Structure 1
Amino acid sequence: MPGKSYSGSLPPLSPDEIALRDRLQADIERISSNGEHNYIAYENLVAVADFIEDEFADAEYEVRSQVYTVEGQNFRNLEVERLGSEKPNDIFVVGAHYDSVVVSPGANDNGSGVAAVLALARAFARVNPKRTVRFVAFVNEEPPFFQTEEMGSVVYAKRCRQSNENIVGMLCLETIGYYDDTPGSQNYPMGLLKNIYPITGNFISVVGNLDSAFLVRQVVGEFRDRTQFPCEGAILPGSIAGAGWSDHWAFWQYNYPAVMVTDTAPFRYPYYHTAEDTPDKIDFDRLARVVTGLERTLKALLDL
């Protein structure tokens, strides 16, 4: 991977990062306060979607809804866009799923990812990038829709391919708020990876398949170059457990380069897919650092 992962003590948060931290916390608390939000807790799911739509609109975006129906229930992906000034047909997608698994309030999985997408959308609301950037909230990532035709990101990526859209990169923000400085707190789907990557779960990870190798290296390199926070990159076959466990997988199915930015979820987070996935488990200081790093990385990807 290009560059070197940051090591050592973290610097104090800047005033802007403190404000970002507080906004991320407020948004995650708002999302998870609905309790579980999914096809079973449908009214709660609609409430979270309404909240996201309102936040996009408050940032002065025109919100586009992609509505589809499954067994009589209407579901919607929510999308906003900043059109590129020089290369409008080069499109980066930054997305996260807003549904939670059954029984879980989903603070980290995936309130953290949604809050980050909202924060990034606000940061780019008055920016004129050379390339186009879209911020998308996907529905129905969790079972029983996971990796099926009814998964929200599959519906979205399929539409992009049918429209011949040039998605040059997709960043999936998935469960990004939990960090642990205890040695041995980080696990991996294959034991051999412990000989390559850290065993302390205090870093953010960028994961992609072999076809997305260039994007993995690009994101990791830009993040490491601009951010004082540990960052690791992994290029793995899609068949490896965990490698395709989010919305980036949908873009792989339509031959788009896509990566997952994650705290590695079940390989670190002990409250993954449980009723204990609540806001008090999230390290908001470190989450703010990660989102700041993603903002800087995205600016580089968009030629700002």
Structure 2
Amino acid sequence: MDRSPRPLLVRSLSCVLVLGLVLLGACTGSDTDEAPSPSEQTTASPEPTTPAPPPEADAERILADISHLAETIGPRHGTSEAYGEAADWVEERLTGLGYEVSRQQVDAPAGTTWGVDVPAGDSPNVIADRPGASPTDPHVVVGAHLDTIPVAPGAEDNASGVAVMLELARVVAEAEVPVRFVAFGAEEPRGPGDALHHFGSQQYVAALGDDERAAITAMVALDRVGVPGPEVPICSGDSPNGTIEVRDQLAAAATDGGVPHTVCGGNTTSDHWSFDKAGIPAARLGSIPYAGYHSPQDTVEVVDPAQAGRVAAIMRGWLLENVASP
């Protein structure tokens, strides 16, 4: 019998050849297993991103701003140097939040403010807009008067309103909310009667062109919003040209946020009244009575930051629900 290993060697070489061809095919592919062309490749669509919701209002920030206005600056009647310092500070704060800030001259006459004679002069409104916004674009106005009577540090009246306004400006700075913030000058009376009151807001409304007036869909005044109380007052002016629509929207926002509140009408003692009389929908938050009203005792100690925070929460809800762009 021929026991030569040759047939085994042949078989082994054949196996190596077949294995090599298989491996070569795996590396180079075949006519029927080509890579897809770029036109045939599919790219997964990126997952849509949801913008982060605006931050909640911070009551401690509000209290810090009240302290600055009432303690660092102090009494600031509308034509005083202290009012100018306060206006500069508010402008700096709003500019730092990314707003475009301008000023509007407000001519305040000489007169008597709560028993103290005050000189005539300019008590400017400080106005903050979103970058690129036009006053003829539909928007709301959120305002708070910056002045005090001459003898009062004005923690509640009205550093509380200004501080809540500044916190709202921070909260919605990155949101699509068409809002203009205004720190009004010379709100405090310089004599008896409606004509000698609310100079900043009266002149603001008087200077509006027809298209600018039509662009304001609502106005809210924040005035005395920090003293403790069981509820947040939400009030309308109820002029013959006015409406309770904004008041009711704010009340609905309070209900949705679980904030105790009460509604009232016939409130004419803040800057919303200038808008209400002109037929622009307007309302006011604030006005709980307190012992230090228009006195040197209107200090930081009268303010409850939790109450100011509740007001800010109502306003945040209202701005995001009724004003924010879809």
Report if TM-score (shorter chain) is over 0.5.
yes
State the match for 2:106 in structure 1. 68
State the match for 1:135 in structure 2. 181
8 Å CA contact retained: 1:84, 1:128:
no
Separation in 2, partners of 1:221, 1:22: 25
Asked if 1:256 is matched to 2:304, the reply is: no
8 Å CA contact retained: 1:83, 1:133:
no
Asked if 1:147 is matched to 2:178, the reply is: no
Asked if 1:35 is matched to 2:74, the reply is: yes
Aligned length: 253
TM-score (norm 1): 0.77
Separation in 1, partners of 2:209, 2:158: 26
8 Å CA contact retained: 1:89, 1:165:
no
Separation in 2, partners of 1:84, 1:217: 31
- Pick 1 or 2: higher relative contact order, CA cutoff 8 A, min separation 6: 1
8 Å CA contact retained: 1:82, 1:128:
no
Matches within 5 A, 1:144-183: 144=190, 147-148=194-195, 151-166=199-214, 167-179=216-228
2:263 to 230, 233, 244: 233
TM-score (norm 2): 0.72
1:50 to 88, 109, 116: 88
Asked if 1:77 is matched to 2:109, the reply is: no
Separation in 1, partners of 2:122, 2:291: 33
- Give the 3-state SS of the residue equivalent to 1:178 in structure 2: coil
Separation in 2, partners of 1:121, 1:260: 18
Matches within 5 A, 1:153-302: 153-166=201-214, 167-179=216-228, 201-210=229-238, 211-225=242-256, 227-234=257-264, 236=265, 238=266, 243-262=267-286, 264-265=287-288, 268-302=289-323
Structure exhibiting the larger radius of gyration computed from Cα positions: 2
Separation in 2, partners of 1:161, 1:168: 15
Q: Displacement, 1:283? A: 0.7
Q: Give the CA RMSD over aligned residues.
A: 2.4
**Stretches of structure 2 lacking an aligned partner (at least 5 in a row):** 1-54, 110-119
8 Å CA contact retained: 2:98, 2:131:
no
Q: Which one-letter code corresponds to 1:148 in the other structure?
A: A
**Taking every aligned residue pair, what percent have the same amino acid on both sides?**
30
Query: Higher mean Cα deviation, 209-218 or 25-34?
Result: 209-218
Q: Displacement, 1:35? A: 2.1
Could you give the per-residue CA deviations for residues 59-100 of structure 1, whole angstroms, max 9, x where no partner exists? Answer: 011101101344562221011123799xx7322110000000
- Give the 3-state SS of the residue equivalent to 2:258 in structure 1: coil
